[in-house]
Structure 1
């Protein structure tokens, strides 16, 4: 890519572009309210392991 800087000659180089996604804060909060705590299939196994240690 060629670039012209005022008062100087054309220079060659690369262009670097960075994109970053920033989700809306209200959307994140709404999603947290919609999530219901469901029992994990591993909860039973964890409970059995804990009972075995006691």
Structure 2
């Protein structure tokens, strides 16, 4: 049930992180506050397709 996903910065649109999520428990798109090394600040990162 676990799938690999990519997290994309909402500011610069770069894919900085990859992680796993359980599709059964988390059906919606994942949103996390992570550090973006390109923006040099903490921004919201959203799950991509």
Greater fraction helix: 1
Greater fraction strand: 2
TM-score (norm 2): 0.21
Larger Rg: 1
Q: Which has the higher contact order (CA 8 A, sep 6+)?
A: 2
